[in-house]
């Protein structure tokens, strides 16, 4: 990149917990290297210095939950050459998409003293339902190495190494014995996309599905596995309604059991 | 044949350590028996026994003393001989030059303790490909040739083992440096010892063991007999290749695909599955590029990706590929079956899909079809 102007990077936030942006800050040593190669032009979580757009790369965290956000994301898209969404909120609607299965007005009445001040959308939706997205990086939160890999690949004009197969593959490479088979622990691994390095199973817990559906998720077959180890209908619904509840394959499977 | 008392087992381990080997043997981890680094014989899973069903595995301690009272564990030896992730080469680029460097390190000297008959056959399959095949893998070859093998005969095969049907067990017949048969009998705990190689013989001689008495040999023989009797699962191999090659458009694959999640646990735990992919990386700011080899599986979409898309898009086509390769086209390619009957893929498939059952079902369907004609 010698002699070439550094690409301008912007980091945007919508409805989210900031955890994914923190993953970027959490890169520490690598972050300094990233900063050598990109110009961090807009990143309010990290610095108050702001450069005006347009931006070469926009990282977008969070889901769309308000009419104002729905407008704002369009402006960001217009200002960005590449738009990359980061995290479960931005890629599937996040945990807040649980509202999509309920009546959001009822929630508002319970939570806020003055519901009339609240202007919100019925559903929490992923960014790609509003604008064109160049790349979706999954995870709740995203994996910092994957985040660097995306930026790295972009800077080097190559395809990122980001697998879309199951968590099980990472789990077996790590040498962990399957928690579902050996302890009867319900695990979302077989239908969930790799990315975390199979963290939870390595601590003998089932996968929570943070990275959303894998490339060919056979959710019905997983439900059959869970039923075999004694998981009841309500917990099947809950299992699929976690951080990626509104991702199509998970949503549909949860609805099958809700209405069963 | 010599006798090694239980109390002398650490003498064997120490001698191997003295010769510079890193010991890898079975251990009871939480939930499973796995190959892992071990230091002393106390690390072995004394009293631990395993139960295998389709998609179900449990270990429990019987309170006994036997150290090798289990069948094939959750981790195969490929973890050590074909590591899941390995750097193949690193390239350095400057303004005018480009150099490629292959990492050269001394291969680890492993001594594998407690190796089963099926695993020795799996190693023999991999040797055929990675040592004697047209594209040998120097790293595998180096690791493999260093590896010292202390095999232990099975005396408690699992409900999913079918090694006898494919001719790979339960008795160990070849491929070891030292072969032990564990005997826990009438208040005694010992191993009968046989050396299979010159270096195995050297180690046995250093230990200065006494010769086995006729009675001890007879008891060890009985242990083997027990294992043969306990092994009840069978796979009918007759004409299996034709059954599979004739089943390319069988509706049976669809019915398996309903259960199969394409999660790849089967191929990852299989001791003979060796497929890998390469990942090219560019460490930021380093001016280098790296190529890594990582374990892959025929159950992933990328595995069959060629220009324009993946060839095997459905679960049915991937399962068919796996089974047909193992039991039919592997023969054409490498001259043997691709399966050693360890039963891992049956135990560790979370959906409990059983290859022996699926193969039998395919055979029945073919017979029905032939009768109908
Ligand atoms: S056969 Fe079982 S272990 Fe193999 S991919 Fe299918 S569900 Fe996974
Ligand atoms: S196919 Fe299954 S039974 Fe055969 S060697 Fe592989 S894991 Fe073992």
Lowest average pLDDT, out of A108-117, B104-113, B281-290, B317-326, goes to B281-290
What integer pLDDT is reported at residue A3 of this predicted model? 53
Contacts (Cβ under 8 Å, ≥6 apart) of B70: B26, B33, B45, B48, B49, B50, B59, B156, B158
Amino acid A138: pLDDT: 98
**Which of B265, B275, B316, B347 has the most ligand 1 atoms within 8 A of CB, as the residue to mutate?**
B265
**Residue-level pLDDT at B116:** 97
A190:B58 CB<8 A: no
DSSP conformational letter for B325: I
| Other CB atoms within 10 Å distance of the CB of residue B359 | 21
Burial code of A143-157, b = ≥16 C-beta within 10 A, e = fewer?
bbebbbbbbbbbbbe
With beta carbons under 8 A apart, name residues in chain B contacting A189: 263
- Residue pair B157/B163 in contact (Cβ under 8 Å)? The answer is yes
Q: State the angle between helix axes of A219-228 and A233-240 in degrees (0 to 180), rounded to the nearest 10.
A: 140
Q: How far apart are CA A225 and CA B222, in angstroms?
A: 40
Nearest-neighbour CA in chain A from B294: distance (Å) = 9
Q: Is B159 on the interface with A (CB under 8 A)?
A: no
Structure token digits, residue A5? 């102007």
What is the number of the ligand closest to the CA of B298?
1
Q: Which residues of A touch B257 (CB under 8 A)?
A: 218
The Cα B149–Cα B194 span in angstroms is 12
Tokens for B27?
A: 């251990």
| Statement: residue A12 has pLDDT above 90 | yes
Whether pLDDT at B184 is above 80: yes
Tokens coding A46 = 């990290």
B217 and B153 Cβ atoms separated by less than 8 Å: no
Cβ(B347) – ligand 1 distance below 6 Å: no
Split at pLDDT 50, 70, 90, the class of A1 is: very low
CA distance A167 to A195: 7
Q: Is the peptide bond before B14 cis (omega within 30 degrees of 0)?
A: no
Which of chain B's residues have a Cβ under 8 Å away from the Cβ of A164?
Answer: 301-302
Q: Are B261 and B350 in contact (CB under 8 A)?
A: yes
Q: Render pLDDT for A153-167 as a digit per residue (tens, 0 to 9).
A: 998 888 999 999 999
Distance from CA of B316 to the nearest CA of A (A): 12
Is the dihedral angle over the CA atoms B207, B213, B218, B219 positive or is it negative?
A: negative
Decide if pLDDT at A185 tops 90.
yes
The mean pLDDT value for A164-186 works out to 98
* Residue from the list B268, B284, B299 with its beta carbon closest to the beta carbon of A148: B284
User: B351 CB less than 6 Å from ligand 1?
Assistant: yes
| pLDDT score at A29 | 82
d(CA B262, CA A222): 11
Contact B268 A182 (CB under 8 A): no
Distance CA A30, CA B151 (A): 46
In the reported structure, the alpha carbon of residue B218 is separated from the centroid of ligand 1 by a whole-number distance in angstroms of 42
d(CA B177, CA B152): 11
| Count, residues in chain A | 260
Collapsing DSSP to helix, strand or coil, A77 comes out as helix
Say whether B262 and A166 touch across the interface (CB within 8 A).
yes
pLDDT-derived band at A249 (thresholds 50, 70, 90) equals: very high
d(CA B195, CA B150): 9
Contact B264 A218 (CB under 8 A): no
Distance B351 CA to ligand 1 centre (A): 7
Q: Kindly report the average pLDDT of chain B as a whole number.
A: 96
**Lowest-pLDDT range, B18-27, B95-104, B303-312, B341-350?**
B95-104
C-alpha B343/C-alpha B165 separation (Å) is 12
Q: Is the pTM of this model over 0.80?
A: yes
Which residues in A lie closer than 8 A to residue B70 (C-beta atoms)? none
Say which residue the tokens 């931006």 belong to.
A55
The whole-number pLDDT of residue A28 equals: 83
- Asked if B300's CB is within 8 angstroms of A215's CB, the reply is yes
DSSP assigned state of B307:
T
Per-residue confidence (pLDDT) for residue A32, from 0 to 100: 87
Question: Residue B158 pLDDT > 60, yes or no?
Answer: yes
Q: Cβ(B262) to ligand 1 under 6 A?
A: yes
Inspect the interface and report whether the beta carbons of A175 and B34 lie closer than 8 Å.
yes
**If pLDDT is split at 50, 70 and 90, which confidence band does A4 have?**
low
In this structure, the residue with its CA closest to atom 5 of ligand 1 is B262
Distance from CA of B361 to the nearest CA of A (A): 20
User: Is the per-residue pLDDT at B285 higher than 80?
Assistant: no
Phi, psi (rounded to 5 degrees) for B319: -65, -40
For ligand 2, whether the C-beta of B343 sits within 6 Å is yes
Share of chain A above pLDDT 70, in %: 98
- Classify B261 as helix, strand or coil: coil
For chain B, positions 160-179, list CB contacts with chain A under 8 A.
none
Give, for ligand 1, the residue of B316, B353, B355 to mutate: max count of ligand atoms closer than 8 Å to Cβ: B353
* Residue A127: DSSP 8-state: G
Name the one residue in this structure whose structure tokens are 């290297």: A33
Surface-to-core class of residue B278, CB atoms within 10 Å of its CB (0-12 exposed, 13-18 middle, 19+ buried): exposed
Our answer on whether the CB atom of B257 is closer than 6 Å to any ligand 1 atom is no
- CA A98 from chain center: how many Å? 15
Residues β-bridged to residue B33: B28
Alpha-carbon span B48 to B63, nearest angstrom? 8
B-facing residues of A in 28-47 (CB < 8 A) are 30, 33-34, 36-37
Q: Do A169 and B57 touch (CB under 8 A)?
A: no
Q: Does A172 touch chain B (CB under 8 A)?
A: yes
Of A17-31, A246-260, B24-38, B270-284, which range is least confident?
A17-31
**Residue A54, preceding bond cis, omega within 30 degrees?**
yes
* B348 CA to centre of ligand 1 in angstroms: 8
pLDDT for the residue A87: 98
| pLDDT tens digits along A57-112 | 999 999 999 999 999 999 999 999 999 999 999 999 999 999 999 999 999 999 99
Averaged over A179-203, what is the pLDDT?
A: 98
Name the nearest CA neighbour of A32 among A46, A11, A18.
A46
Q: Determine which of B36, B263, B294, B304 to mutate to test the interface with A (most A C-beta atoms within 10 Å).
A: B263
Q: B110-115 and B148-152: which strand pairing?
A: parallel
Predicted-complex ipTM score: 0.96
Q: What local confidence, expressed as pLDDT, does residue B186 receive? A: 85
The structural domains of chain A, ordered by start, are 8-155 (3.40.50.700), 167-258 (no CATH)
pLDDT, chain A, mean: 95
* Predicted pLDDT of residue B237: 96
Residues B326-350 have a mean pLDDT of 96
- B253 close to ligand 1 (CB < 6 Angstrom): no
Q: Does B55 sit within 8 Å of A181, measured CB to CB?
A: yes
Residue bearing the CA closest to ligand 2, atom 8: B342
Confidence of residue A31 (pLDDT cuts 50, 70, 90): confident
Considering only CB atoms, which chain B residues are within 8 Å of A163?
300, 302
């Amino acid at each position: 990149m010698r002699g070439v102007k550094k690409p301008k990077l912007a980091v945007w936030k919508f409805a989210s917990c900031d955890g994914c942006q923190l993953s970027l800050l959490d890169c520490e040593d690598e972050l300094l290297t990233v900063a050598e190669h990109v110009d961090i032009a807009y990143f309010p979580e990290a610095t108050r210095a702001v450069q005006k757009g347009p931006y070469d790369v926009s990282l977008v965290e969070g889901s769309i939950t308000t009419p104002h956000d729905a407008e704002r994301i369009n402006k960001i898209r217009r200002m960005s050459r590449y738009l990359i969404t980061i995290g479960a909120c931005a890629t599937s609607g996040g945990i807040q998409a649980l509202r999509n299965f309920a009546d959001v007005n009822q929630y508002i009445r319970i939570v806020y003293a003055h519901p009339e001040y609240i202007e919100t959308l019925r559903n929490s939706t992923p960014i790609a339902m509003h604008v064109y997205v160049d790349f979706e990086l999954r995870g709740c939160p995203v994996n910092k190495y994957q985040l660097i890999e995306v930026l790295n690949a972009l800077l080097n004009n190559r395809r990122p190494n980001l697998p879309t197969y199951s968590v099980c593959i990472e789990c077996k490479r790590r040498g962990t014995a399957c928690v579902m088979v050996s302890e009867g622990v319900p695990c979302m691994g077989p239908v969930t996309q790799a990315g975390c390095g199979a963290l939870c199973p390595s601590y003998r817990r089932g996968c929570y599905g943070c990275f959303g559906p894998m490339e060919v998720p056979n959710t019905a077959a997983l439900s059959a596995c869970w039923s075999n180890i004694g998981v009841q209908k309500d917990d099947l619904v809950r299992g699929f309604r976690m951080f990626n509840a509104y991702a199509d394959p998970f949503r549909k499977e949860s609805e099958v059991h809700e209405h069963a | 044949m010599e006798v090694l008392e239980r109390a002398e087992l650490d003498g064997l381990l120490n001698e191997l350590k003295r010769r510079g080997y890193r010991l890898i043997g079975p251990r009871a981890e939480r939930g499973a028996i796995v190959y892992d680094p071990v230091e002393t014989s106390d690390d072995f899973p004394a009293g631990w026994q395993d139960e295998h069903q389709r998609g179900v595995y449990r270990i429990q301690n019987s309170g006994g003393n036997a150290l090798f009272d289990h069948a094939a564990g959750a981790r195969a030896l490929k973890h050590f001989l074909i590591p899941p992730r390995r750097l193949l080469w690193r390239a350095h680029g400057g303004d005018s030059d480009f150099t490629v460097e292959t990492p050269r390190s001394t291969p680890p000297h492993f001594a594998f303790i407690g190796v089963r008959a099926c695993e020795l056959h799996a190693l023999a399959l991999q040797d055929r490909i990675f040592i004697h095949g047209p594209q040998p893998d120097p790293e595998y070859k180096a690791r493999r040739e260093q590896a010292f093998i202390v095999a232990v005969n099975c005396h408690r095969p699992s409900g999913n083992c079918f090694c006898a049907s494919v001719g790979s067990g339960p008795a160990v017949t070849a491929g070891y440096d030292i072969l032990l048969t564990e005997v826990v009998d009438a208040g005694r705990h010992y191993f009968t010892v046989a050396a299979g190689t010159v270096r195995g013989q050297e180690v046995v001689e250093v230990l200065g063991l006494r010769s086995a008495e006729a009675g001890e040999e007879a008891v060890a023989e009985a242990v083997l007999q027990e294992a043969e009797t306990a092994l009840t699962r069978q796979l009918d191999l007759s004409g299996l290749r034709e059954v599979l090659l004739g089943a390319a458009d069988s509706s049976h694959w669809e019915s398996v695909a309903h259960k199969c999640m394409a999660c790849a646990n089967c191929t990852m735990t299989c001791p003979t599955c060796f497929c890998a992919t390469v990942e090219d990386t560019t460490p930021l700011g380093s001016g280098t590029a790296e190529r890594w080899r990582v374990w892959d599986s025929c159950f992933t979409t990328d595995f069959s990706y060629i220009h324009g898309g993946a060839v095997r898009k459905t679960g049915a086509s991937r399962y068919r590929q796996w089974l047909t390769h193992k039991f039919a086209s592997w023969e054409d390619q490498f001259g043997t079956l691709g399966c050693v009957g360890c039963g891992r893929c049956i135990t560790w498939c979370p959906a409990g899909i059983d290859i022996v059952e699926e193969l039998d079902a395919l055979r029945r369907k073919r017979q029905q079809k032939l009768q109908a004609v």
